[in-house]
Amino acid sequence: MIINSELEQRGNQFPNDIKEVRQEVDTIYFTTLNEVVLQLTVLRDSVIRFRYGTRGILEDDFSYAIDTDSYTGYNHLELTENKNYHIVTTAKLIIKIEKISLQTKILDKEGHLINEDEIGFHYEESFTLGGNIVKMGKRAHPGETFFGLGDKPVHLNLRGKKFTNWATDSYAFGKDTDPIYKSVPFYIGLKEKKAYGIFFDNSFKTNFDFCQERLDVTSFWAPGGEMNYYFFYGPSMSDVVANYTHLTGKPDLPPLWSLGFQQCKWSYFPESTVKALAQKFRDLRIPCDGIYLDIDYMEGFRCFTWNKEYFPDPKRMIGELEADGFKTIVIIDPGIKIDPDYWVYQEGLENDYFCKRADGPYMVGKVWPGECAFPDFTNPEVRDWWAGLFKDIVGDIGVRGVWNDMNEPAVMEVPGKTFPDDVRHDYDGHPCSHRKAHNVYGTQMARATYEGVKKYVYPKRPLVITRSAYSGAQRYTSSWTGDNVATWEHLWIANNQVQRMCLSGMSFTGTDIGGFAEQPTGELFARWIQLGVFHPFCRVHSSGHHGDQEPWAFGDEITNITRAFIEMRYTFLPYLYTMFYEYSTKGIPMIKPLVYYDQEDPHTNYRTDEFIFGNCILVCPILEPNSKGRRMYLARGTWYNFWDNSVIEGGRELWVDADLDRIPMFVKEGAIIPRYPVQQYVEEKVITELKLDVYFKIGKEASQVYEDGNDGYDYKKGRYSLRNFNLTGKEGELTIQQHKSGTYDTSYDTIKLNLIGLSFEIKSITVDNVEYDLNILENDGKCLKLSKNFAVVNLMG
């Protein structure tokens, strides 16, 4: 790794006096006497791009991360100057560019300094490899905290640490291992309660230092490419994350079944084992939607083939599993076995689709199949070809989702565990070495896989899962956090990683529940399930070398606890789906760290364990063995204990009981939480009633419930059902208004309000101006069934 402080001693070059300023609509070019160009673009009033070239040259502008559909638009842009600065003003920000140094300062409209360059942009000519080593130094302020950066297995707050982004196969990684699988060069700063974000869109090996080398400096740098970063201003963290996610892209809705429970292992084979596994789930009444086949389903690890001894008739088997509510997902790796008789290898060879070394030979590396060639997924023609390879397994055989592994890319038995730097890539028409393409390789593979699965699973929706990812991968794929270990420390890591991924635009993420390597105790497995059911992607996976890890592998007590929590997840499906809808339309993370939830409360800034599931359920996992409960921080506000509905005031630390069969969960007052009945798999039952858990509050609260056909694309034509609820509680009165949009007609006709914490006895019920008899109340006056499309219900004491 290049150490920044070392570089400061070497040939650093700095911009000098600005000699020329030129504006083209939303973009302003500042050129210095020594030919450094700053291209500053206003994308939105609060989203600014800073891009630096040297020798007066900017590269061809191309990025895999940016969603080309992300619209831009600002309300105000003005360029002025005073003695020392050129000043760009938008409706939200004031950006000052110093005339003698090109250093920048960013202030909000009230004049608060949000972020400023320390030494700012500087660079060094890379005589050995070509191009520049590009660097940025920013001033860090006392008390400023930092979040984000994808899958780093560290404390949520990044301050005091240094990181590298270089996608790496990291079997049994540990706390603070860096780098691991993903590369998401985006972080959030929180300074004096105001949040901003920086996305350094450079696919080379990027480095970030959050005040480790110098206590008051945050810096980031890369050994090639451009200093090219986007600045997002909040002041709320939610706006920062939403704007970043908007820029790098939001996913379509996944099929609802992919939010159900998923069971995986390395490996389930032959067919009889898979069938027995499925049967066991149904026999024990443990809900499950997805079964995963790991590499052994293939013929000699050749992608797109089947081992006919283990799986003589995969189409029949998958059909039979489907009939019982299971979808089959298979693994596909990037390594294509070098075998002259293997059609995928032949096609790749004939069409020149494999990566080559600088001097011409193929990039050959050993992976599971032995010596392999590797498609250059950064070539659009190769991606098209790859997508087409899914015709049989998805279109004909009926596989419903594809799991991309080893796409860092991982290579065995070589130093660095990946391709050598000299390997050539197309990079969508910008030929380059592996130094530049490495971090995006996995995402481009997942993208090609997504295009293929999407095409052949049509009219249903695709599911792709990836291990490696670069910013923007969320447009194509979900992800898991790789080869973790069955230890309590890894449970802590799992919790931090998924929260961090959610802040990094990649909400649809989960961990190998129970741990991939080694075997969990029943207690650890139960505690991991209790966390995992709150993660957007919920899958048990294990290496299979250390014993069984199915929900029934640890005795009856654990089986029952596991079942109860998986059942709970299924009852939360409409809540989870609504969360996904908010993520997919607005870029709102599905789960939220406490600091995101309440950045104004300094206590939240250093918390890691507690998080908000959706918008209104606070969850805190139990992370230690033999626990009867734990101390935790309850965010500010008034909460209901999920388990007994007792009301409790937040903004403080407290002890919460949590025997092995429960974990601390609190629901925000005023919440309306939609629930479905328990199902063994998505769409097992026709939903005949939507239950709404209504948590009374004095005051107002808004919530929504999104539903659609659970799969397919009709929702894009307006066939969805979005219920917006406004709750207003007063002494002796509760009113819920509903505004419904979308043309989807849900299967149920009634909505059942389950009234929790009502502070009065109901004496009158009015629904859409009609007075109802009190005997429509059920369950001791706590439940009320209404026709689903009511506009206003008013309850008076």
Looking at the Cβ atoms of 294 and 550, the one nearer to ligand MIG is 294
At its nearest, how many Å lie between ligand MIG and the CB of residue 259? 20
Which of 45, 209, 289, 294 contacts ligand MIG by CB under 6 A?
294
Looking at the Cβ atoms of 468 and 559, the one nearer to ligand MIG is 468
At its nearest, how many Å lie between ligand MIG and the CB of residue 538? 15
Look up 405 and say whether it is catalytic. yes
Distance CA 84, CA 18 (A): 11
Interhelix angle 271-283/314-323, nearest 10 degrees: 0
What are the DSSP E strand ranges found in 399-555? 401-404, 424-425, 432-433, 464-466, 469-470, 478-480, 509-510, 512-513, 539-540
At its nearest, how many Å lie between ligand MIG and the CB of residue 331? 6
At its nearest, how many Å lie between ligand MIG and the CB of residue 512? 7
DSSP state of 428: T
Look up 421 and say whether it is catalytic. no
Q: Which helix (H) or strand (E) element contains residue 314?
A: helix 314-323
CA distances to 64, 384, 418, 457 from 453, rounded to whole Å, are 20, 12, 26, 6
The number of beta carbons lying within 10 Å of the beta carbon of residue 30 is 22
Looking at the Cβ atoms of 307 and 433, the one nearer to ligand MIG is 307
CA distances to 87, 97, 99, 461 from 83, rounded to whole Å, are 11, 11, 8, 58
How many residues of this chain interact with ligand MIG, rule: CB under 6 A? Answer: 10
Looking at the Cβ atoms of 331 and 493, the one nearer to ligand MIG is 331
Looking at the Cβ atoms of 174 and 732, the one nearer to ligand MIG is 174
Closest residue to ligand MIG, Cβ-based? 266
Distance CA 91, CA 38 (A): 21
Q: Which helix (H) or strand (E) element contains residue 165?
A: strand 161-165
227-233 vs 262-263, strand pairing mode? unpaired
Looking at the Cβ atoms of 483 and 711, the one nearer to ligand MIG is 483
**Is residue 331 part of the contact set for ligand MIG (CB under 6 A)?**
yes
Cα dihedral 465→486→169→67 (10° resolution): 30
**Is residue 295 part of the contact set for ligand MIG (CB under 6 A)?**
yes
Looking at the Cβ atoms of 413 and 556, the one nearer to ligand MIG is 413
Considering Cα of 696, then 700, then 701, then 704, what sign does the dihedral take? positive
Bridge partners of residue 94, in order along the sequence: 89, 107
Looking at the Cβ atoms of 221 and 403, the one nearer to ligand MIG is 403
Which of 365, 401, 482, 520 contacts ligand MIG by CB under 6 A?
482
At its nearest, how many Å lie between ligand MIG and the CB of residue 94? 47
Looking at the Cβ atoms of 256 and 295, the one nearer to ligand MIG is 295
Kindly name the residue from 117, 483, 582, 669 that is annotated as catalytic.
Answer: 483
At its nearest, how many Å lie between ligand MIG and the CB of residue 152? 17
Q: Which helix (H) or strand (E) element contains residue 38?
A: strand 37-44
Distance CA 488, CA 509 (A): 20
Residues 694-733 that bind ligand MIG (CB under 6 A): none
Kindly name the residue from 405, 598, 701, 707 that is annotated as catalytic.
Answer: 405
Bridge partners of residue 629, in order along the sequence: 657
Question: x-or-dash pattern for ligand MIG, window 496-535, by CB under 6 A?
Answer: ----------------------------------------
Distance CA 427, CA 377 (A): 8
Looking at the Cβ atoms of 62 and 171, the one nearer to ligand MIG is 171
Looking at the Cβ atoms of 93 and 331, the one nearer to ligand MIG is 331
Q: Of 757, 750, 758, 755, whose CA–CA distance to 785 is shortest?
A: 750
**Is residue 411 part of the contact set for ligand MIG (CB under 6 A)?**
no
8 A C-beta contact, residue 789 and residue 730: no
Q: Of 183, 145, 140, 146, whose CA–CA distance to 164 is shortest?
A: 183
**Is residue 408 part of the contact set for ligand MIG (CB under 6 A)?**
no
Residues 541-570 that bind ligand MIG (CB under 6 A): 541
Interhelix angle 522-532/556-571, nearest 10 degrees: 0
Considering Cα of 50, then 51, then 53, then 58, what sign does the dihedral take? negative
Q: Of 588, 589, 580, 439, whose CA–CA distance to 501 is shortest?
A: 589
Residues 164-193 that bind ligand MIG (CB under 6 A): none
8 A C-beta contact, residue 187 and residue 142: no
Bridge partners of residue 469, in order along the sequence: 182
Look up 81 and say whether it is catalytic. no
Which of 405, 598, 609, 711 contacts ligand MIG by CB under 6 A?
405
8 A C-beta contact, residue 504 and residue 148: yes
Cα dihedral 191→195→201→207 (10° resolution): 30
What are the DSSP E strand ranges found in 47-103? 47-53, 77-81, 85-90, 93-98
Instruction: Give me 446's structure tokens.
Output: 């997942």
At its nearest, how many Å lie between ligand MIG and the CB of residue 482? 5
Distance CA 234, CA 299 (A): 52
Question: x-or-dash pattern for ligand MIG, window 218-257, by CB under 6 A?
Answer: ----------------------------------------
Interhelix angle 556-571/573-586, nearest 10 degrees: 50
Residues 103-132 that bind ligand MIG (CB under 6 A): none
Kindly name the residue from 178, 408, 598, 609 that is annotated as catalytic.
Answer: 408
**Is residue 467 part of the contact set for ligand MIG (CB under 6 A)?**
yes
Distance CA 504, CA 482 (A): 17
Residues 732-791 that bind ligand MIG (CB under 6 A): none
At its nearest, how many Å lie between ligand MIG and the CB of residue 267? 7
Residues 250-269 that bind ligand MIG (CB under 6 A): 266
At its nearest, how many Å lie between ligand MIG and the CB of residue 183? 17
At its nearest, how many Å lie between ligand MIG and the CB of residue 467? 6
CA distances to 191, 195, 233, 591, 605 from 146, rounded to whole Å, are 9, 9, 14, 18, 9
**Is residue 490 part of the contact set for ligand MIG (CB under 6 A)?**
no
At its nearest, how many Å lie between ligand MIG and the CB of residue 393? 16
206-210 vs 194-200, strand pairing mode? unpaired
Looking at the Cβ atoms of 105 and 467, the one nearer to ligand MIG is 467
At its nearest, how many Å lie between ligand MIG and the CB of residue 342? 19
Looking at the Cβ atoms of 253 and 331, the one nearer to ligand MIG is 331
Distance CA 454, CA 459 (A): 8
At its nearest, how many Å lie between ligand MIG and the CB of residue 169? 7
Which of 98, 239, 483, 610 contacts ligand MIG by CB under 6 A?
483
Question: What positions carry a catalytic annotation?
Answer: 405, 408, 483
Query: Which residue ranges make up the site for ligand MIG (CB under 6 A)?
Result: 266, 294-295, 331, 405-406, 467, 482-483, 541
